[in-house]
């Protein structure tokens, strides 16, 4: 069934219609002709493989990375053929048919449960594949621990050895390449004479365990190796100049390049003890591998991009630098980037003493990913965080990245454009066109077009540009339903070839589809289908993936005509009964792979369409339902993403289309402070970013109400409850539970709850009794908040909405604090100190009283402003009686007399709000100086404070700043009116004290119960909401002129009275 078309869905449809409707003819990325594939390939061997680099030379493609287990590369072709090392076939192999092309020899042991995920015996590999897609040869260097001890007693530590290639380039001679990477342990490589080794005995420095594809780089050395891929033998290998002597430093080899004279350059970063990094450039003789020189660039913090000139002894580097008025590469150009920016430089590397800078330019607020030399130009790309210039070219930074064409002779900018960017961003060119790639799990905007990844997962994003002026021709994404990540790309005569590592079961692109047999193999081994959490690190086994895209684009098969060449042109025609959207052809009724809550609904007259219909969030004929949030189709059950970068996803918000098709829903048993998540809680940075290493009971920031959250909480709070009824209820509790819900006035219930708290012991079930009187015990509860009607809790929620003390899904902050106090009290009565128990009782009572403070203040306002003044006075009297009965001698007599008079006088004046506000806020209920913490991921509560030195929560900690009740707990918004002092004369003398009874009249019940839809407070609430709607988000709240803002007296500002000290 399709959801009813309401206003929200219509808005969403209009939003997507703008996205999918044909664009103006002048739009970029609008060509009718689209990319097609020559072939696509997967490593189908039983194991894990992951490429990091690719290059092309003389009819062959060379893919470099690492592997565990067995390798067997298979390619699927546009003509329908399949090719592996054994030859071509008209049918694809099943997982049982796959034969091994190369075995790494990895083995089980220590932390490794299977050979195909083991670093013991893994290989850094180079796969040679012909331009036609035939796998020819695998070159591998083997790695084991340096002492060949396969447990934690090894000199390399518990993780043993590892090896992987990060860069590769070709010499100007057939089948001769150079690769560079990292290793730890004993590295053995084949040579014409047999084999040779490099040794790195350093300890990885890890006590924790992480298996592939997340290798740990501690103690790594760099190495460079020249390989004859015709024979599969190394010519030479070295780690000279590619290591750090200080084991506390880290070494990261980044890239490698050959020069016109056949020498080798490698770039690297070294992370020092103080966590700063320095860039390095090392030159090797191409014939024998001897180190020629090594230089360190102190102001360069990363050296990602590197390419050699085909005609002269020049290399081009692209990295990041930081400093003021510095010359990073000795070119004579003084550059400044206070927070870090990209720098591109040309270096003459002929000399024997080191490089000589030729020119350098910067791209401030950017970083550098890739530089490629093609003819007389360079193509550079990277990420960008704000507006900047690149030579004479200007960039806005709005797209998140940049792509530029430079003259390689002097670095002058030919053109530069804002483009999306992300993981591994790389651009390659054949001189006529430029193809740019990166990977991300979020949608990207190219010009006016939004490109989505499939299935809300990581994909490779690709775009094609004109090399002449940088105009965008088309943009698309490449991937399947799993995590597919881009690694590198190279240009070939046929078009660009990309290397990636994928976990999708199938990838289809440009007319070619190929199945990743790792899924079928895993299902067979496990006796059935496998979910998304199978494989090492619950990510699925990662397989090398490669794709050769034709440099010649073609018209999609469902476009019957496109005479102008522009997709958005009025004369472009889609085949009848079909749709073309998001670079895919769809039959009628088919859902989009990119926005799966939209489907193809061709025009009524039978013509095809470029517009999809939706969102369809719930559909009984579909396997998966979706929420449509932020222009994306979110699969049912997906947890909401983090509000701040680097944090773990939410634990309390998820997609439930049957509840909310156009927004997130709350997980039962939780509450959410979204203001805290969006405005206060920080994101994680550094190593912890996105790795989930920070939460687990570590306290983070506090919200506006003084409540401490767990780190990476995303504003989530666990709602703690006292279970009713207990196994053996007391007589008092049994009697209370026998009450009919709603039969007792709310004020009396609150008074009973307060009395139960104060008298609670470990034996008398006073906590359970207090819980019942405050929260109730009903069968039907409110959505999200689980509140029982006609209880003090329901009053708290009604008042919280009016005073901005409610959390995002409606939970009253007072209720949250009451529940936490009572839950902790239930535990501490048996084992806690008398002081802690006394504080918990004091805090529970204080929070139970706050809704009645809010009620009395708002009733006083309505006495001033509403026509139903007597109803408002009755409501205020009922609320005041609850406060007065619980406050005791601590309430100031003068203020008590003012409130007694206000709510009982037969004559109602016009200064009630200001008087009640001042009197009540100067007599806030007594509360402790302890802070409460809600550790949402652990599901626990704590009271006290965080000891940063000890790194633990200490129950006994108190502090003046940790006041459990403040003015913010009463109202978190602008006051409904300005107060001017002194007040006008009282309308009458104070009457006799009121009766101590808490019995509410019918008017009073209507005023403070949830069901009182016609009570005086509802009218008041509308007035208050109208006023508070104009408050700007994030503005500091002002609650009363007496307590916070200067009061007006005779036109002059008067200093506010001091806030009362909490007792």
Range among 19-23, 249-253, 322-326, 979-983 rated most confident: 322-326
Terminal CA-CA length for the chain = 58
DSSP bridge partners of 587: 578
Q: What's the pLDDT band for 743 if we cut at 50, 70, 90?
A: confident
> Residue 1036 contacts by C-beta under 8 Å, 6 or more apart in sequence?
none
**Which tens digit of pLDDT belongs to each residue from 781-831?**
888 899 999 999 999 999 999 999 999 999 999 999 999 999 999 999 988
pLDDT value of residue 993: 44
Q: What's the pLDDT band for 703 if we cut at 50, 70, 90?
A: very high
Radius of gyration of the chain (CA): 35
Q: Evaluate the omega torsion of the peptide bond into residue 874 and state whether it is cis, within 30 degrees of 0.
A: no
Query: Would you say residue 117 has pLDDT above 70?
Result: yes
Q: What's the pLDDT band for 693 if we cut at 50, 70, 90?
A: low
Strands (DSSP E) contained in 311-369 are: 314-326, 335-348, 356-364
Q: Percent helix, strand and coil across the chain, each rounded to 5?
A: 20, 35, 45
Query: Would you say residue 432 has pLDDT above 90?
Result: yes
pLDDT value of residue 214: 66
| Interval 877-898 mean pLDDT | 94
Pairing mode, if any, of strands 449-451 and 423-429? unpaired
| Interval 52-81 mean pLDDT | 96
Backbone angles phi, psi at 912, to 5 degrees: -70, -45
The residue among 697, 654, 674, 681 whose CA lies nearest residue 939 is 697
513 SS3 class:
strand
DSSP bridge partners of 566: 31
Strands (DSSP E) contained in 72-193 are: 73-77, 82-84, 87-89, 102-103, 123-130, 135-144, 162-170, 176-191
CA atoms within 13 A on the CB side of 546: 39
Which residue is associated with the tokens 């619950």? 538
> Degrees (nearest 5) of the Cα angle 475, 481, 485?
60
The residue among 270, 326, 336, 327 whose CA lies nearest residue 301 is 270
| Interval 422-447 mean pLDDT | 95
**Which tens digit of pLDDT belongs to each residue from 951-968?**
777 877 776 667 889 999
| Interval 355-368 mean pLDDT | 94
pLDDT value of residue 983: 64
Q: Evaluate the omega torsion of the peptide bond into residue 945 and state whether it is cis, within 30 degrees of 0.
A: no
Q: CA-to-CA distance for 906 and 488, rounded, in angstroms?
A: 83
pLDDT value of residue 944: 83
Q: CA-to-CA distance for 920 and 853, rounded, in angstroms?
A: 7
> What is the DSSP secondary-structure string of 548-592?
EE-SS-B--TTEEE-TTSBTTSTT-EEPTTEEEETTEEEETTPBP
Backbone angles phi, psi at 116, to 5 degrees: -85, 5
Q: What's the pLDDT band for 540 if we cut at 50, 70, 90?
A: low
Range among 487-491, 933-937, 969-973 rated most confident: 487-491
Reported for 685-688, long-range contacts at CB under 8 A and 24+ positions apart, including other chains, are 685/646, 688/646
Tally of CB atoms within 10 A around 252 = 19
CB 419 within 8 A of CB 427: no
Q: What's the pLDDT band for 1015 if we cut at 50, 70, 90?
A: very low
DSSP bridge partners of 316: 307, 346
Query: Would you say residue 1033 has pLDDT above 60?
Result: no
pLDDT value of residue 620: 81
| Interval 263-275 mean pLDDT | 90
Q: What's the pLDDT band for 696 if we cut at 50, 70, 90?
A: low
Query: Would you say residue 1023 has pLDDT above 60?
Result: no
CB 587 within 8 A of CB 76: no
Q: Is 11 exposed, middle or buried (0-12, 13-18, 19+ CB in 10 A)?
A: exposed
pLDDT value of residue 996: 38
Q: What's the pLDDT band for 519 if we cut at 50, 70, 90?
A: confident
**Which tens digit of pLDDT belongs to each residue from 550-587?**
999 999 999 999 999 999 999 999 999 999 998 899 99
Q: Is the dihedral of CA 21, 25, 29, 35 positive or negative?
A: positive
Q: CA-to-CA distance for 1059 and 913, rounded, in angstroms?
A: 18
Q: What's the pLDDT band for 1043 if we cut at 50, 70, 90?
A: very low
CB 717 within 8 A of CB 673: yes
pLDDT value of residue 276: 84
The residue among 222, 189, 166 whose CA lies nearest residue 51 is 166
Query: Would you say residue 2 has pLDDT above 60?
Result: no
**Which tens digit of pLDDT belongs to each residue from 587-620?**
999 999 899 999 999 987 767 889 999 999 998 8
Q: 1062: which 2 tokens? A: 């909490």
Q: Is the dihedral of CA 306, 247, 294, 184 positive or negative?
A: negative
Query: Would you say residue 15 has pLDDT above 50?
Result: no
Q: CA-to-CA distance for 501 and 862, rounded, in angstroms?
A: 66
Q: CA-to-CA distance for 132 and 224, rounded, in angstroms?
A: 29
Report how far apart, in Å, the C-alpha atoms of 228 and of each of 183, 265, 521 are: 21, 18, 34
Q: Is 167 exposed, middle or buried (0-12, 13-18, 19+ CB in 10 A)?
A: buried
766 SS3 class:
helix
pLDDT value of residue 1013: 27
Pairing mode, if any, of strands 60-71 and 573-574? unpaired
Query: Would you say residue 155 has pLDDT above 70?
Result: yes
pLDDT value of residue 751: 96
Q: What's the pLDDT band for 905 if we cut at 50, 70, 90?
A: very high
**Which tens digit of pLDDT belongs to each residue from 73-97?**
999 999 999 999 999 999 999 999 9
Which residue is associated with the tokens 């790195």? 200
């Amino acid at each position: 069934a399709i959801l009813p078309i309401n206003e929200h869905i219509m808005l969403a449809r209009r939003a997507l219609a703008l996205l999918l409707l044909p664009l103006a003819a002048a739009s970029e990325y609008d060509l009718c002709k689209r990319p097609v594939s020559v072939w696509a390939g997967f490593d189908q061997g039983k194991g894990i493989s992951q490429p990091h680099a690719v290059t092309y030379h003389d009819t062959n493609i060379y893919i470099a990375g690492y592997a565990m287990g067995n390798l067997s590369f298979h390619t699927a072709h546009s003509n329908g053929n399949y090719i592996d090392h054994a030859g071509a076939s008209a049918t694809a192999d099943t997982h049982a048919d796959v034969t091994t092309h190369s075995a790494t020899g990895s083995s089980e042991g220590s932390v490794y449960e299977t050979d195909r995920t083991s670093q013991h015996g893994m290989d850094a590999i180079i796969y040679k594949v012909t331009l036609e897609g035939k796998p020819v040869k695998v070159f591998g260097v083997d790695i084991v621990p340096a002492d060949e001890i396969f447990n934690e007693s090894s000199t390399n530590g518990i993780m043993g050895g590892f090896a992987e290639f990060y860069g590769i380039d070709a010499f100007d001679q057939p089948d001769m390449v150079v690769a560079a990477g990292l290793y730890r342990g004993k590295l053995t490589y084949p040579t014409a004479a047999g084999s040779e080794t490099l040794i790195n005995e350093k300890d990885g420095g890890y006590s924790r365990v992480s298996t592939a594809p997340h290798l740990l780089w501690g103690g790594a050395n760099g190495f460079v190796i020249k390989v004859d891929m015709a024979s599969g033998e190394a010519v030479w290998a070295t780690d000279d100049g590619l290591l750090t002597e200080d084991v506390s430093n880290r070494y990261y080899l980044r890239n490698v390049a050959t020069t016109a004279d056949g020498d080798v350059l490698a770039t690297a970063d070294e992370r020092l003890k103080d966590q700063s990094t320095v860039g390095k450039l090392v030159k090797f003789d191409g014939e024998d591998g001897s180190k020629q020189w090594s230089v360190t660039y102190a102001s360069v913090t990363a050296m990602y991009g590197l390419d050699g000139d085909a005609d002269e002894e020049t290399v081009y580097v692209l990295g990041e630098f930081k400093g003021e008025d510095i010359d990073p590469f000795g070119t004579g150009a003084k550059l400044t980037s206070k927070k870090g920016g990209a720098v591109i430089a040309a270096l003459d590397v002929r000399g024997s003493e080191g490089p000589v800078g030729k020119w350098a330019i910067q791209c401030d607020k950017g970083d550098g990913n890739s530089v490629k030399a093609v003819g007389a130009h360079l193509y550079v790309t990277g990420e960008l965080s704000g507006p900047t210039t690149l030579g004479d070219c200007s960039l806005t930074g709005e797209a998140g990245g940049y792509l530029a064409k430079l003259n390689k002779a002097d670095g002058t900018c030919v053109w530069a454009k804002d483009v999306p960017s992300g993981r591994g961003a790389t651009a390659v060119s054949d001189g006529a066109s430029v193809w740019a790639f990166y990977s991300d799990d979020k949608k990207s905007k190219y010009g006016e077009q939004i490109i989505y990844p499939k299935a809300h997962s990581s994909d490779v994003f690709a775009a094609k540009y004109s090399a002449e002026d940088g105009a965008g021709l088309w943009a698309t994404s490449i991937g399947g339903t799993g995590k597919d990540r881009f690694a590198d790309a190279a240009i070939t005569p046929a078009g660009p070839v990309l290397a990636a590592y994928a976990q999708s079961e199938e990838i289809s692109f440009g007319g070619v589809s190929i199945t990743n047999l790792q899924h079928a193999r895993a299902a067979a081994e496990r006796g059935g289908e496998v979910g998304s959490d199978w494989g090492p690190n619950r990510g699925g086994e990662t397989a090398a993936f490669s794709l050769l895209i034709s440099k010649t684009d073609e018209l999609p098969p469902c476009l019957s005509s496109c005479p102008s060449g522009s997709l958005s042109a009025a004369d472009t025609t889609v085949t009848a009964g079909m749709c073309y959207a998001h670079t895919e052809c769809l039959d009628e009724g088919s859902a989009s792979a990119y926005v799966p809550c939209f489907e193809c609904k061709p025009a009524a007259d039978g013509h095809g369409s470029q517009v999809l219909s939706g969102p369809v969030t719930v559909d009984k004929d579909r396997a998966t339902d979706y929420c449509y949030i932020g222009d994306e189709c979110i699969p049912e059950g997906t947890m909401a993403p983090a509000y701040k970068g680097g944090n773990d996803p939410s634990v309390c918000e998820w997609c439930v289309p049957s509840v909310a098709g156009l927004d997130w829903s709350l997980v039962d048993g939780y509450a959410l402070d979204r203001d805290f998540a969006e405005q206060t809680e920080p994101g994680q940075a550094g190593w912890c970013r996105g790795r989930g290493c920070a939460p687990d009971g570590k306290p983070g920031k506090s919200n506006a109400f003084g409540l401490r959250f767990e780190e990476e909480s995303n504003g989530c709070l666990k709602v703690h409850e006292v279970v009713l009824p207990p196994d053996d209820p007391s007589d008092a509790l049994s009697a209370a539970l026998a009450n009919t819900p709603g039969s007792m006035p709310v004020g009396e219930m609150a008074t009973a709850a307060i009395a139960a708290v104060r008298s609670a012991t470990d034996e008398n079930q006073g906590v359970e009794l207090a819980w019942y009187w405050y929260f109730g015990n009903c069968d039907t509860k409110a959505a999200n908040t689980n509140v029982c009607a006609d209880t003090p809790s329901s009053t708290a929620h009604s008042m919280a909405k009016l005073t901005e003390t409610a959390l995002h899904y409606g939970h009253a902050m007072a209720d949250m604090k009451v529940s936490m106090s009572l839950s902790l009290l239930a535990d501490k009565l048996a084992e806690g100190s008398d002081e802690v128990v006394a504080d918990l009782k004091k805090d529970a009572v204080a929070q139970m009283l706050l809704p009645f403070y809010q009620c009395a203040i708002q009733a006083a306002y309505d006495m001033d402003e509403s026509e139903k003044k007597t109803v408002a006075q009755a409501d205020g009297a009922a609320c005041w009686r609850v406060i007065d009965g619980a406050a005791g001698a601590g309430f100031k007599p003068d203020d008590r007399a003012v409130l007694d008079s206000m709510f009982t006088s037969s004559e109602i004046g016009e200064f009630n709000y200001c008087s009640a506000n001042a009197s009540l806020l100067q007599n806030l209920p007594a509360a402790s100086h302890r802070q409460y913490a809600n550790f949402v991921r652990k599901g626990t509560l704590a009271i006290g404070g965080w000891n940063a030195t000890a790194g633990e929560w200490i129950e006994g900690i108190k502090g003046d700043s940790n006041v459990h009740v403040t003015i913010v707990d009463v109202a978190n918004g602008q006051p409904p009116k300005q107060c001017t002092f002194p007040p006008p004369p009282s309308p009458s003398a104070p009457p006799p004290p009121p009766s101590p009874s808490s019995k509410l009249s019918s008017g009073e019940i209507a005023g403070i119960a949830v069901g009182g839809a016609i009570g005086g407070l509802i009218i008041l609430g509308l007035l208050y909401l109208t006023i508070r709607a104009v408050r700007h988000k994030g503005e500091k709240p002002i609650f009363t002129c007496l307590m916070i803002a200067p009061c007006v007296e005779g036109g002059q500002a008067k200093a506010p009275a001091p806030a009362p000290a909490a007792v």
